[in-house]
Structures are given as C-alpha cells and as structure tokens.
Amino acid sequence: MAFAQPRRAQFSSSARSPRLAILRPDHDFLRLLDADLIKERSYSQPCRDWPEVKSHLAILLAPAAQQGDERGGEQPERIWGLGIVRPAHETDRDRKVFVSRARKFRDLVPFSGLWCADGERDGALARSLPESGPVTVGVDVVFANLQRISPDVEREVQRLSPLLDDGEGWNDQELRWRDERDALLLFAKIAGLAPNDFAPLRGWDRTAARAGFLSGLTGTPVQPMLDDIRGRAAERFSGVGETVVQAFASGRGQSYDLEATSITHQRVVDGGKGSLDAYYYHVDTRTLVVLRYLSPAPNGLLSSETRHRLDDFLGRVHRLQRPARRSVDDYCLLDDPLFLRIHEQVPFTAALYRTSSGAIYPYGQIAAAASAASVHGFPGLSTDLLTRHLVPTDFTRLVRDGWFGARDVPFEVALDWVEATVETVGVALMVVDFSSRPRGNGSGIGTRAQGIA
C-alpha cells in the first residue's frame, strides 16, 4: 500500500512494534484510571475479536464530552492517554478487558495523528483502524506515528512499551523470575497479605535482580542468625550459589510476618538451565507446602527430563509420616506437601502484580497419570490427562485455612527438601510464615495455633 512505504523507511528496522489496541472507555472509567495509576480496572468493550490473549499498548480515546469546545465543523477525536490492556474472557456480546498503568496526557492530542503525517491524510489507514479493539492493519505505521505526535506522547510510549508481555525472546532467567514472583505472591497471600498490600513488589528493579526475582525487591535484608529459624536457610545454603533473604512485616499490628529466601545453585547463576521449587512453611504448626513449577512442551507433554528430575528429587527427600489424628476435627484433604504448578503460556512481565494463569495439581494425580501413560505406551505425560486441578485463588485459600499441606514437619526436614531441590532443579524459594493468628477450620491449623488439642 502506498501509505506504508515512505513512513516505514523512517522506522527503525531493528525495533519491533508492540501490540496496539484502541479503547473508548467512558468518563467515569477514565476517572478511576487517573485516580490510581497502578490498580488494574476491568470493563466490557464491544470488540470480541482479539487475535491473542496478550497485553496490548492501549490508546485511550477521550469521550465526546471531553473532546473540547471547538467552534465550527465537527469536533475531531482526541486521545486521552495510554495504558496497558489485557483481554480476558468473551461473553455473548462483548469481551472483558483489564486496563492498568494508564496515564493521562497533559493535553488531549488529535487522534488523526495516527494516520496523518507531513500534513497528508491516509484514508485507507484511517478506515482500517478499529472502532474498538486491537489494531491489526498498519501497526508499524500507527506506532511510528504515535511516537511522533508530541514529546509527551513519546515519553509515555517509551515508559509503557517495556512493560508489555512479549512472547519472543523469553530467556530461562526471565521465566524463573516469573515463577518466583508467582510463588511469592501466592505464599504472601497465604501469609495474610492483601492483594494491594505487597508494596515492595511494585518497586521491583530488574537491574538489581541477578539470579533470582527476590534480589530485585526492596524488602528488609536479613542477617543470618544461629540457633533461630530466621536466617537459618541463608546460613545453611550460603556457599551453594546465590542466596538472598528478605523480610516482610506489617507495620499495622503485625497482621503478617514472613521471611523469603531465594537459593540459586552456582551452575544456574553461571548460565545453566534451572527451574523452581517454592516452599511455604508455617512455623507455629510446622506445616509444609511445596510447589514445583513445570512448563509443558507446545504439544502439551511433560518431557522425560522433567519427569526424571522429579523422580530424582523424590528419591532424595525424606518421606513424611502421616500425622496421627488427634480428634475428629483434626484432618485435612491432603497430607502430601507436593503440588505441581503448570502455567499457561504466559511471559514474565514485571509491571503486572498478579499471579500467573494456570493450574495447580496434587502430586498424587501427576504420579497416577504418569503411571497410566507408561502402561499405555504414550510418548510422554500429557496435561490433557490431568482433569482435576486448583486455580491459584482456591489453592491459597485452602492452604491458608489448613486443608492442604504436610503438618508437624521439623524445619530441618524442610531444609533437607530445599537442599534436594537446589541439587536437582537448581532454584528454590522458601517463604517462612511466622504469624500465629488462627487459621480457618480446616485441618486444625487454627486450633493448634490456639493450643487446642
């Protein structure tokens, strides 16, 4: 098309245009976005045809009432600001989307700047832009024109572009960062943090993060202390590779108190491949829960290497005894601490403070499915065989209320499991919860915390 060639010549061939979308929220929604630059807001918009469920750079148009009072002729449409939009589920009529990181421009800028350059209007490009939804035609041109509108707009584009999910070029370290962040969020919620309470996560610094996501946070560093649970993990694993310990405590009456330790084996620090096991340990009840993070192949199969690593890990750890029931109320749904966390294909994105989509499976189901796959001669364990799972919200609630996890596990035994993780998959995250508040009415966590047999 004639409009594309001369403008593309000015656009860097090495740069990659982000996914773009045009949104037309109403005045009330824009007001909410402007009031909180971090919080993610949701609304339904009429376009259902998003080509992929990934984040887009959102061009937010001002409602007609905000377009200005220009005399004579039709009022031109103007851009209110930019943000990040993430499409979610479809309905019969529209699509739910989530908008975050929105920033209003100091002055409304003409929407026509997206298809006009050097005083020329390109009617074909203008007609190709959606009323609402993703930009699928002329993306390079629209993105280049967007940056040229004004220095103010260009600054906002440069601020938001690195925050977009981008499936190309995810390296092994970034995927581990994603998993470690996901586990930290899950376990922080179990430990009592509200979704918007984990302020250090918003201040994550990529340049400070070396082998682990935790090293890029701004929590309180912990000095390892002998003969005390606090710092004991750091003391034990100080010579293994890179160990980072951070403490997070509520300043409002100690509603939460936890310590997170990230241990990365030296071979992974040096660039070798590794994956993550994440540990949650509740001190008062000596409850242990473990998440192993797995990534299936594009065909949905778990590789033989993944299964061998799991077998190797289980061969090194102490088998935990099932606790004797002390009363008819002292029981749980599952005494095995090990769960497997399988992500949907989502990237690492430091800007979005949420757990990743995916599913959590008890290890027993994985073992049964692996056995069935072997008996029937399947080439690998397919995630299609895993029919019962938990979403992260269910998982955190059930662990917090005491239904899941192995109980009465000595801390040294938990550290033995962490050591087996570091030796087999390379990276471990351990969250130790020191809170003594009562827990639900599940397996007795609450009753034991109150000293009731």
Q: Tell me which of 27-41, 257-271, 295-309, 357-371 is least confident.
A: 295-309
Q: Tell me which of 61-75, 89-103, 165-179, 243-257 is least confident.
A: 61-75
Beta bridge partners of 60: 23, 81
Q: Tell me which of 4-13, 261-270, 434-443 is least confident.
A: 4-13
Judge whether residue 426 has pLDDT over 80: yes
Judge whether residue 6 has pLDDT over 50: no
- 452 or 66, greater pLDDT: 66
State pLDDT tens for residues 373-396. Answer: 666 666 566 666 677 789 898 999
Q: Tell me which of 54-68, 94-108, 387-401 is least confident.
A: 54-68
Position 71 scores a pLDDT of 44
Judge whether residue 46 has pLDDT over 80: yes
Position 448 scores a pLDDT of 43
- 444 or 63, greater pLDDT: 63
- 168 or 37, greater pLDDT: 37
What type of residue is 124? A
Specify whether the CB–CB gap between 214 and 246 falls below 8 A.
Answer: yes
Average pLDDT, the chain: 79
d(CA 255, CA 264): 30
State pLDDT tens for residues 312-341. Answer: 999 999 878 776 655 555 566 778 899 999
What type of residue is 200? P
Judge whether residue 239 has pLDDT over 80: yes
User: What percent of the chain is modeled with pLDDT above 70?
Assistant: 76
Judge whether residue 9 has pLDDT over 50: no
Which is it for strands 56-61 and 20-23: parallel, antiparallel or unpaired? parallel
Q: In what side-by-side order are the strands of the sheet with 257-265?
A: 220-221, 241-249, 257-265, 426-433, 275-282, 287-294, 338-343, 358-362
Position 231 scores a pLDDT of 81
Which is it for strands 95-110 and 56-61: parallel, antiparallel or unpaired? unpaired
Give the CA count within 13 Å in the CB-facing half-sphere of 371.
6
| Of residues 101, 102, 110, the one with CA closest to residue 150 | 110
Specify whether the CB–CB gap between 355 and 188 falls below 8 A.
Answer: no
Position 303 scores a pLDDT of 75
- 310 or 439, greater pLDDT: 310
| Of residues 125, 20, 34, 35, the one with CA closest to residue 81 | 34
- Where does residue 385 rank: exposed (0-12), middle (13-18), buried (19+ CB within 10 A)? middle
Position 11 scores a pLDDT of 31
Position 8 scores a pLDDT of 28
Residue 255's φ and ψ, nearest 5 degrees, are -75, -20
Position 443 scores a pLDDT of 47
What three-state secondary structure class fits 163?
A: helix
For the CA atoms of 208, 56, 274, 394, the dihedral, rounded to the nearest 10 degrees, stands at 100
Please enumerate in sequence order all residues whose Cβ is within 8 A of that of 54, keeping only pairs 6 or more positions apart, or say none: 19, 86, 87, 164, 165, 167
Judge whether residue 240 has pLDDT over 70: yes
What three-state secondary structure class fits 90?
A: strand
Position 324 scores a pLDDT of 64
Residue 225 — very low, low, confident or very high, per pLDDT cuts 50/70/90? low
State pLDDT tens for residues 115-165. Answer: 875 667 777 888 888 888 899 888 888 888 888 888 888 888 887 876 775
Reading the block at residue 143, the tokens are 């993105």
State pLDDT tens for residues 163-178. Answer: 775 555 578 888 899 8
Judge whether residue 215 has pLDDT over 50: yes
Q: Give 401-435 as a DSSP string.
A: TTSBSB-S--HHHHHHHHHHHHHHTEEEEEEEE--
Reading the block at residue 272, the tokens are 């070798």
d(CA 328, CA 339): 26
Which one of 57-61, 178-182, 277-281, 345-349 scores highest in mean pLDDT?
Answer: 277-281
Judge whether residue 353 has pLDDT over 50: yes
Residue 253 — very low, low, confident or very high, per pLDDT cuts 50/70/90? low
Helix (H) or strand (E) holding 338: strand 338-343
Q: Burial letters for 238-261: b for 16+ Cβ neighbours within 10 Å, e otherwise?
A: eebbbbbbbbbeeeeeeebbbbbb
